Structure 1
Amino acid sequence: MWSITFTLMKRSMKMLIPAGIAIIIGTMFVASTFLFGNALDHSLRQQVSASFGDAQYAISQKDNGSSGNAMTVEQLRLDRIRAVQGVSGARPDVTAQVEFSASSEGSHTSTAVISMASPGGIMPVQLTSGLWPAQSGETAIPEQLAQRIGAHVGDMVTASVSADVSMTGHSETKNLRLVGITKDSAGAYAYYGGAAIVSEHDFAELQGLGQSGGFADVPLSAAYVSLDPSSSEATARTLAEINRILPDGFHIQNRAAIEKTMMDNLGGGQVNVTTTFILAFGVLAMFVAAIVIANTFQVIVAQRRRTLALLRTIGAKKNQLYVSVIAEAGILGLICSLIGVGCALVLMLLLGLSGIDLAGARFAFVLSWPVFVVPIAFGLVITVLASLGSARAATGVTPLEALQPMEAQSKKRAGRFTRVISALAIVLGMVAMVIPAVNTFRSAQGQMAAMSADASLQTLGLAMLGVMVFFIGVLMCSSSWMPWLLKGIGALVSHIGPASTVASANIQKNPKRVASTGAALLIGVTLVSCLGTGAASAKETMSDALDARYSVDVQVSGSKLGSADVKKVKAVQGVASASLIPTTTATLGEGDERTDMSLYEVSGAQMTQTMRLTSQQQLTHGDLLVPQSFATKDYGLAKGSQVKLSTGNAEDGSKTADSHDAREFTVVAASFRGVASQNSIYGIVAPGTFTASGASGSTYEIWVKSDGTQAAGTLVDNIKQALSGADGVSVGGSIAVRAQWEQIVNVLLMILVALLAVAVVIALIGVANTLSLSVIERLRESATLRAIGMTRTQLRSSLAMEALLISGCSVIVGLVLGTAFGWLGSYLVFSQFGSVAFPLNWSMDAGIVVIAVVAALLASVLPARRAVSTPPVAALAEA
């Protein structure tokens, strides 16, 4: 039977190609997931141990530094450790922040500075040109730093440490000769863009320790040790000697042990979580591929009915036919899975060679057994399982049945058991979705106690389970409702022309296969639509919630903002108005009840221009306008109450509410919703209040009202660009927060849709496969149509219309289900923030429809080419 199996497989090769492509894409996705996980793990391990350089061991506290006991270089006995036989070098882990500048340039910038150690390989950075600092007065700096300050090897640079970052609280400055350029390839000092190197003597002087104990008094918590290559016995003796020298509470560990500890502390399990999350989409893709495979083998077995009947006649047993179909599926799954893994390896290798860096994560080519075993086993098992139904059908073929038309068996409808199970799944799914929605509604309306975080998660989990069960029920009975829906749509389009009439009739000939093909596409469309609807709801809901919290669209803060900056902001497209607002920090209350409060001087005209208020408010001296949410006894700011505020400074510069400048204010509460403030409570006072109170050190903010013509992210970016010359500018307010939120949602949506795209591509391959199989089955029919006068264009149009009908039906149902699921999820998640928006994501829905139409037309190209390229006489003979 093996020779017969190979022969039959060879004859059906063209039909197996689409199924093989689906397997290749699915297994490639799974293998790439494991390769990406390996690369991510490798990158994280490199990052957490980047400070090692070429050192194999590290000295650290036994309790991972939790005790907080600082050691100095001398107390760690580093000189004695360097003298131990077998130790080739030891480097203390000391870092300082130093500002560098070049005398020939006016620019200056800060970077990390570490001390030089020997040999150079133990350093955590690499030397790209020049020399390592060999004596006091020399330095090597990162190439990016050298470019910024315009310094070259041989130049003199100035290193200075300010008092606020110095170990001794004194500022220090040294002139150093630049002798080398370094590069931080491992990302040990990624925050600074690398680290500069100075001698131990210069490091101590920059920290103000030159006049005391020098470098021996520099505090540290770890050191890195490099050992000479030797036998394991010699290494053990060296490590034992080092442990004997070390003070209590410290020990030496190898790099692997340190990496494991640091990975655990950093949540190294995130790599497994990330891999598992992405792998779930791979499983989905393989499930969709299984539908394509099942359709292929159903047609192959149907076409071989005469051959199978002949084999039964000459003595082949049922189990032999069964094993033959299973073996064919196994061979296909194995070969295509191997190709998929190979493609994944090539892809990861190319990404690694490209040098792409994603936030420190590099595409390192790291192999492991799951990269090969899991996708190959997965592809093999899925292919075999998908072929079981066809293999079972092959055993039931009899010579008499083989004489029947091929369409006879395809018209069998789903069994009663399947319909009962699907109906039960739909009902149970609806119940599981309705219960969480009702409980959430009652909680939001105050009809029941507010749900805790755990209860909310359980409610969301139940709803997700209900969605899954409901969707499975819909898929199970797709062979019942999808042909009915296709028949209705087909009846509408059949009046367009003969091509549409033929297409409408053809989709009714094999409803089961068409339904399964549509179900594969339905999965992808539903999930994409669900995510798009959820994202749109999240944006709109949070936008409304932010508008209900903030009265100012944009707040720009900076150390030296002035009227010139206001003019720049007003010139930005999308800005309706902008005003310069004085602000200061006051002290509310007296004695132990004092608390800091932000105050803003805003005139009535400025409120009208820059704030969104439902009613206008004119403040007089002595009025304190606070948001409605603050006007309660809990804050001590009840409406109409008298409160004491101190906006003046005592002689020592500190705020005090007990000083003579404390003034009484009357609390006013209006339609003021709130602003972005550095203090938890804040209020607005009339212009001139700060001057009258003797307030000093006031700063300014620019309050901006948007005209609504620009997107949130665009407006924020344009304002930042307009004020790029100002120091320390930050942008807050409702629009700034909205821009950040929308960016997060957009990135997540892009990632999820990209992952789902694999399943959608496989589903579209399934559409092309179904059309190809239909063309093969209908060769005689196509030849007859051509013989009676149907043109090639009309035949192509009928296949294109058939693809559009299948895709269109799946897209319509998928958009409806996806939108409903997205609304449900949004309501459960965002109801705690206020009124939930239920938008229709027209842009994404239109994009899905366009993609489906284009893909359907492309899917019909190859099948149509075969249909029109076969002469009618040859087609009649072949059929």
Structure 2
Amino acid sequence: MLQVAFSQLKTHSRRFIAITLAVLLAVAFLSATLMVNASATASLTASLGQSYAKADLVASPTAAVPLTAASAAAAARTPGVAASYPLRQEMVPVAAGTATLAGVLRNLPASPQLEPLALVNGSWPTSAGQVTVDAKTAAARHLSVGSTVTLGGGVAAGGHDGRPKAESGPAASGTPDAAVAVQPAVKATVTGIMAASADPQLSGLAQLAGTEATLDAVAGPDAHYATIAVELAPGTNTAAAATALESALKLPAGQVVTPQQLTSATVKSFTGGSDHLTIVLLAFAAVALLVSGLVVSNTFSVLVAQRTRELALLRCLGASRTQIRSSVVLEALVVGVAASVLGVLAAVGTMAAVIALLRRNPDYAFATLGVPASSILAGLTVGTLLTVVAALVPARSATRVAPLAALRPADDASVHNAAGRVRLGIGITLILVGGAGLVAGGLGSNLLLAMPAGAASFIGIILAASLFVPRLVALAGRLARPAGVPGTMASANAVRNPRRTTATASALLIGVTLVTMMMTGAATARQAFESQLADHFPVDLAAAAVPGTPSFTSAELAKAAALPGVDAVARLKVVGTVTAGGQEFPAYGISSTDAERLLGNPQNRPTAGTVVLPKGTTAATASLVDGGRTTRLGVRDSTARGTSALVPLDTFPAAEAGNPVLAGAADQVWIKVDPSLDGTALASLRTDLAEALHVDENQVDGAVLEKAMFNQVINTLLLVVTGLLAVAIVIALIGVANTLSLSVLERTRENSLLRALGLTRGQLRGMLALEAVLIAGVAAVIGSVLGVVYGWLGAQSALGSFTTVVAVVPWGQVLLVVAIAAAAGLLASVVPARRAARLSPVEGLAVD
């Protein structure tokens, strides 16, 4: 039988091309999906964690244990530490020419190995009064080696680590931050141009690096460090070194981790403490494995079923059941191993090409390819096992019956025989039980329940497909009856051979369901993230005047409103002082029209008799003092912390000049911008707004810059996943082409008989084309409906625990998938139909 197996592979090699392609694409899909998580982690480490990406371990401070100069010295003395980089960052205004920019100044590492950025031109600073500037800022402000900039000398906000605060200061609401301070002005000479950091938290900021002496001159000698990155000596145990560092720095356990672990923790902080994005990616990998298995199994089952008579004939000639099964398994093993190897290579090549294309875009220059061993081993193992198991089922069915009985046509699984009743019973049970679990998991935001339940329900739909697919195809066939005899016969064929119709439709149904699920899930997840960010950062941009200076003029507001990319502008005037729960806030008045234009969530808009206070305020009532009048107001909790106290301007007019409530407070301008603007456009717009409003650029800040940072992270994670949709579509097309081609080959005698009875070649081609379009169209519609439901419930189960999830259906993309699926069915029938039409009736009737 060994000879028989190899002769089959050699003689009927064309039969195995289709199954090889199906396995290759399935393995490529699985391996590429597993590489997505590794590549996303590596890319985020190179962007979010760029400042410590070259280190072996990173120490982070806590609220109770800051990292000071003493901590830096202790880290350097720790056994096993070869070099350390205590990172100090300070937010500073940067005056370059006529513009004043918001910037961040960091120190340089003592060891060049820990320097996160490359030097493009010039040299690194060596003494006080010297800095390097990032290439983007240098190009935008026409800076070069030898240029002079002024650091400080104005208002700057931020913590000791210099990173933008997520829920305070102008970045959150336009209100002045408690940490605002006036910094001394220090002139510095540009000694070099360095590459711009890919860290999205620094997006839109001028990035500078200097010596400790320069930072001391600008921010004072009281140094606090954002992180301490260390490089370990060769042979040092990482876990032991982490423990030693935590002991030396008096940090709690878990504060000294690897760069990858710290990056993951940062991503978790974006999503409420859970790494939901990684969970979603892993869910995609699990679904990809399930769907790929179904596609391969379906394709191989049709292929082996075609050989049922051939296998039965071998048994009549003396081959045992074990020999038959062994020959089929050997064929499957050879095909599976070869296709799996090619699939893994295709996955690596595809991911490398995607990363290379991304790196050409300056905004994604940090994209990094990650190829974990698990993706290679999983692809080889799963691809081989999948092929073997898929071949075992039909081979076992062929050997369970007597040889002479196997030579007769087999009955289809239906409600009229035991096998069909068992299959349909299992399918319906899985649909009911899995569907209930999927709904419960979605409504309860339980991904661990929803994922296996959804997989079970989908398997049930595939098992029970023979109940509804042929009937739906026959119902849709009424649309083809105006085509005459070919249309009527195409509609009748769906009912006459339900097994063949179901097998053909299942391949495309699987692929379309996966594609539509990913499209809907991605669109719903993006909407959920954007809704959460809109509540977290209710105002796009804000400009605050310096206390004691004249308010913004109408001409300045009109000039700002006319800038490209600006959707709305409103001036908020100080109306008094609000006292609530022992805290005092300057109260700003906003008209109902402006509140509706600038604040998307109605919860953030003040109404008559109420004041909107920052999130977390526990007081139920507040008192507003405006001039000599005191008013009791009800408190509405904002969706964000650090927001301004807002009251309706229609009820409380602006305070008059000289009123005590104006001390330490000034009018603000709130700006709503076009949500489609990217980080580069936003940075340019901020410069234009500063010029229009006659303020320093660092006085224009806001939520949209934070949103751009989060969206960059989201885009990085979803971009590669979206790219996998192309692979899913190709898998579906291969599946439908395989089953349609084999279906036409099985019907050679039938088609020849129709030709002998008078059916023309054109009518035969039309009949096969209409049948393919009907089957593909019905499968695409069913798959689209299932994909929308699975995508929404999947997003709800993964993200519902920390934000409101509203189903978003990308109708344009869904309709495009349906159209492509119908066209694919038509194209898949062209070659087999042409071959069937060219065969003479006499030759076709002689085929056995």
- The yes-or-no answer on 1:596 pairing with 2:602 is no
Q: Distance in 2 between matches of 1:558 and 1:779?
A: 76
Aligned to 1:496: 483
Counterparts of residues 206-245 of structure 1 (less than 5 Å): 206-207=218-219
For residue 554 of structure 2, what is the amino acid of its counterpart? S
- Look up the SS of the partner of 2:489 in the other structure: helix
Equivalent in the alignment of 1:38: 38
* Cα RMSD after superposing both structures: 6.0
Structure 2 equivalent of residue 418 of structure 1: 423
> Matched residues in 2 for 1:832 and 1:226: separation?
38
> Secondary structure, in 3 states, of the residue corresponding to 1:690?
coil
Does the 8 A contact of 1:89 with 1:117 survive in 2?
A: no
2:629 to 660, 663, 670: 663
CA 1:339/1:611 → structure 2, altered by over 3 Å: closer, same or farther?
Answer: closer
Tell me, yes or no, if structure 1 residue 127 matches structure 2 residue 119: yes
1:821-867 CA distance string (max 9 Å, x none): 67888999999999999998754553343222222222222322332
- Judged with a 3 Å threshold, the aligned counterparts in structure 2 of structure 1 residues 555 and 426 are, in CA distance, closer, same or farther, namely closer
Q: Does 1:10 align with 2:42?
A: no
Match among 38, 61, 69 for residue 71 of structure 1: 69
Superposition pairs for residues 729-808 of structure 1, below 5 Å?
755=724, 758-787=727-756, 789-808=758-777
Tell me the distance in 1 between the aligned counterparts of 2:146 and 2:99: 18
Q: Tell me how many residue pairs correspond in the alignment.
A: 787
Q: Decide which moves more: 772-781 or 470-479.
A: 470-479
Aligned equivalent of 1:646:
625
Distance 2:296 2:411 in 1: 24
2:380 aligned partner: 376
Deviation at 1:277, TM superposition (A): 2.8
State the alpha-carbon separation in 1 of the partners of residues 631 and 845 from structure 2.
Answer: 98
Structure with higher RCO (Cα < 8 A, 6+ apart): 2
**C-alpha distance in structure 2 between counterparts of 1:558 and 1:155, whole Å:** 29
How far off its partner does 1:87 sit? 10
Percent sequence identity is 26
Q: Structure 2: how far apart are the matches of 1:738 and 1:204?
A: 32
The corresponding residue for 1:510 is: 497
Structure 1 residues 279 and 112: CA distance shift in structure 2, 3 A = same
Do 2:67 and 2:227's aligned partners in 1 also have CA atoms closer than 8 Å? no
For residues 501 and 125 of structure 1, the distance between their equivalents in structure 2, rounded to whole angstroms, comes to: 69
Residue deviations 1:226-269, cap 9 Å, x none? Answer: 79x9x97xx99xx99xx99x996479x9x997547645754799
Contact 1:12 1:300 in 2 (8 A): no
Partner of 2:195: 183
Contact 1:43/1:361 (<8 A) preserved: no
Cα deviation for residue 758 of structure 1 reads: 4.1
Instruction: State which of 134, 139, 149 in structure 2 corresponds to 1:147.
Output: 139
Code of the aligned partner of 1:645: L
1:333 partner letter? G
Distance 2:69 2:532 in 1: 51
For 1:776-855, what aligned pairs fall within 5 Å after superposition? 776-787=745-756, 789-817=758-786, 843=812, 845-855=814-824
Correspondence 1:22 to 2:10: no
Report the equivalent of 1:658.
none
Answer whether contact 2:107 2:211 (CA < 8 A) is retained.
yes
CA distance, structure 2, for counterparts of residue 247 and residue 748 of structure 1: 36
Q: Deviations over 1:344-372 (max 9, x none)?
A: 12223334544357976845455443232
Q: Are the counterparts in 2 of residues 535 and 745 from structure 1 also a CA contact under 8 Å?
A: no
- Residue 5 of structure 1: CA displacement? 0.8
Moved more, 676-685 or 4-13: 676-685
1:122 shift after superposition: 5.2
Give distance in 1, aligned partners of 2:187 and 2:683: 36
**Aligned: 1:387 with 2:391:** yes
Q: Distance in 2 between matches of 1:370 and 1:348?
A: 15
Q: Could you say if the C-alpha distance between residues 433 and 39 of structure 1 is closer, same or farther in structure 2, counting changes exceeding 3 Å?
A: closer
- Where in structure 2 are the equivalents of 1:38-57 lying within 5 Å? 38-45=38-45, 50-51=50-51
Deviations 1:191-216 (A, max 9, x none): 5778544455545444556xxxxxxx
Q: What displacement does 1:812 show?
A: 3.6
Instruction: Encode CA deviations 1:486-511: one digit per residue, 9 max, x unaligned.
Output: 33433563452222233234334532
What CA distance in whole angstroms lies between the structure 2 residues aligned with 1:189 and 1:555? 16
Question: Structure 1 residues 92 and 758, CA, compared in 2 at 3 Å: closer, same or farther?
Answer: closer
CA contact 2:578–2:587 (8 Å) conserved in 1 = no
Structure 1 residues 178, 275: closer, same or farther in 2, change over 3 A?
A: same
TM-score of the superposition, structure 1-length normalised? 0.71
Q: CA contact under 8 A between 2:445 and 2:796: conserved in structure 1?
A: no
Q: Deviations over 1:415-454 (max 9, x none)?
A: 22223333434444566678899xx8xxxxxxxxxxxxxx
Structure 1 residue 139: Cα displacement: 4.2
Q: 1:364 to 1:431 in 2, by over 3 A?
A: closer
* Separation (CA, whole Å) in 1 of partners of 2:521 and 2:83: 57
Residue number among 464, 470, 474 corresponding to 1:477 in the alignment: 464
**TM-score of the two chains, using structure 2 as the length reference:** 0.73
Q: Is the 8 A contact 2:104 2:208 kept in 1?
A: yes
1:195–1:264: structure 2 CA closer, same or farther, 3 Å change rule? same
Question: Per the alignment, do residues 568 and 284 of structure 1 end up closer, same or farther by CA in structure 2, a change over 3 Å counting?
Answer: farther
- What does 1:552-571 correspond to in 2, within 5 Å? 557-559=542-544, 562-564=553-555, 567=558
- The amino acid across from 1:385 in the alignment is V
Task: Look up the equivalent residue of 1:646 and give its one-letter code.
Answer: V
Which range is displaced more, 519-528 or 355-364? Answer: 355-364
C-alpha contact (below 8 Å) 1:71/1:221 kept by paired residues: no
Other-structure match for 1:683: 648
C-alpha contact (below 8 Å) 1:811/1:849 kept by paired residues: yes
Which segment is superposed worse, 366-375 or 354-363?
354-363
Query: Which of 688, 695, 719 matches 1:725?
Result: 688
Q: Distance in 2 between matches of 1:555 and 1:202?
A: 33
Question: 1:139 touches 1:178 (CA, 8 Å); kept in 2?
Answer: yes
Local SS of the residue matching 1:375: helix
Cα separation, 2, equivalents of 1:511 and 1:328: 28
In the alignment, which residue of structure 1 is the partner of 2:667? Answer: 699
- Look up the SS of the partner of 1:180 in the other structure: strand
* Cα 1:191/1:390, change in 2 over 3 Å: same
| AA partner of residue 25 (structure 1) | L
Distance 1:737 1:123 in 2: 26
AA partner of residue 667 (structure 2): T
Cα distance change on mapping 1:157 and 1:492 into 2, 3 Å? closer
Structure whose CA Rg is larger? 1
Structure 2 matches for 1:302-701, cutoff 5 A?
Answer: 302=308, 305=309, 307-354=310-357, 355=359, 362-396=366-400, 400-401=404-405, 404=408, 406=409, 414-428=419-433, 456-457=444-445, 469-490=456-477, 493-526=480-513, 557-559=542-544, 562-564=553-555, 567=558, 582-584=572-574, 586-588=576-578, 595-596=584-585, 598-600=587-589, 602=591, 625-626=609-610, 645-647=624-626, 661-665=627-631, 678-679=643-644, 682-686=647-651, 688=653, 690-691=655-656, 694=659, 696=662, 697=665, 699=667
Q: Which amino acid aligns with 2:629?
A: R
Once residues 745 and 200 of structure 1 are traced to their aligned partners in structure 2, the CA distance between those partners, rounded to angstroms, is 35
TM-aligned CA distance change 1:869 to 1:64, over 3 Å = farther
Write the distance in 1 (CA, Å) between the matches of 2:118 and 2:715. Answer: 38
Q: Deviations over 1:36-80 (max 9, x none)?
A: 33334444555687546977788x69x8895226235996697xx
